[in-house]
Amino acid sequence: MAETIRHDWTRAEILGLLDQPFNDLLFQAQTVHRRHHDPNAVQASTLLSIKTGGCPEDCAYCPQSIHHDVALERERLLSVEAVRSAARRARAQGGERFCMGAAWRRPTDRQLEQVAEMVRAVKEEGLETCLTLGMLTLDQARRLAEAGLDYYNHNLDTAPEFYGRIVTTRQYADRLQTLEYVRAAGLKVCCGGILGMGENREQRAGLLQQLANLPEHPHSVPINLLVQVEGTPLYGTPPLDPLEFVRTVAVARILMPGAHVRLSAGRERMSDELQALCFLAGANSIFLGERLLTQSNPQVERDRQLFRRLGLQVGRVAG
């Protein structure tokens, strides 16, 4: 199973993996990981909010939504030079991929051209580029590819049957359609989800099933742990068992052997021991820097100390 790339996983099979004894699951995940990746290498990305707040979507986890009473100051779209400066700082800190996010439902053509200029500027600084702008048309995806974009992030968030409890302003099919356009344009897909939103294990299996059964596995799979922000509907949700988070990371590694499984939002609240278990389970990508869009992220020096203790190397990882 570990050597076979599959796109036909059943929910029952995935639940069977999640239900394994913890040690057996981690052993299987680490075995798969070593067959496809350097076990001691971690890919590093940096995420910058290029337009903050004012989003018309009602995602229950997001402080940038206009539907939630959150103390968040809206910001205009950054200038190209501000983005270039941030990219230079990211490269100096060891970042390899520069990700830019804008709080839009979907960009207008004028906004898209402004962002395309940012992509070209970041490429000139020698970094890979990734964007998350909401939904795209096929023509927009192609225009971003022509500008030199490498990756497009568009998360599925959760299982289809749980999605309506998290977002009501769009449909699951809308997400899948944008992913189809991104693939058709020749861009690499970055797609994952959020854990700890009140979903159960079967629904976590449903998210993993959707990701693993896409026509192509995502190149990067961000696994986010819900960051609870006062004023959002999910504030006060019972926290997810940390070992359940590790289990989900391990199963993502088994289902999508070649993908980079990224520890994303929520890492600031993870102990060093929890992060170490996630790396053992097959996570091999992180965000570096002090912020993830509107949320804080572990300090770079704390990350470096942890990597030294674990013997992990942050460097360019193929894929």
For the annotated catalytic residues, the residue numbers are 55, 59, 62, 99, 130, 190, 262
Among candidate residues 199, 200, 217, the one with its CA nearest the CA of residue 255: 217
**Per residue, what are the HEC states of the chain?**
CCCCCCCCCCHHHHHHHHCCCHHHHHHHHHHHHHHHCCCCEEEEEEEEEEECCCECCCCCCCCCECCCCCCCCCCCCCCHHHHHHHHHHHHHCCCCEEEEEECCCCCCHHHHHHHHHHHHHHHHCCCEEEEECCCCCHHHHHHHHHCCCCEEECCCECCHHHHCCCCCCCCHHHHHHHHHHHHHCCCEEECCEEECCCCCHHHHHHHHHHHHCCCCCCCEEEEEECCCCCCCCCCCCCCCCHHHHHHHHHHHHHHCCCCEEEECCCHHHCCHHHHHHHHHCCCCEEEECCEECCEECCCHHHHHHHHHHHCCEECCCCC
Q: Are 25 and 247 in contact (CB under 8 A)?
A: yes
Sign of the C-alpha dihedral, residues 214, 167, 157, 185?
Answer: positive
318 contacts: CB under 8 Å, gap ≥ 6: none
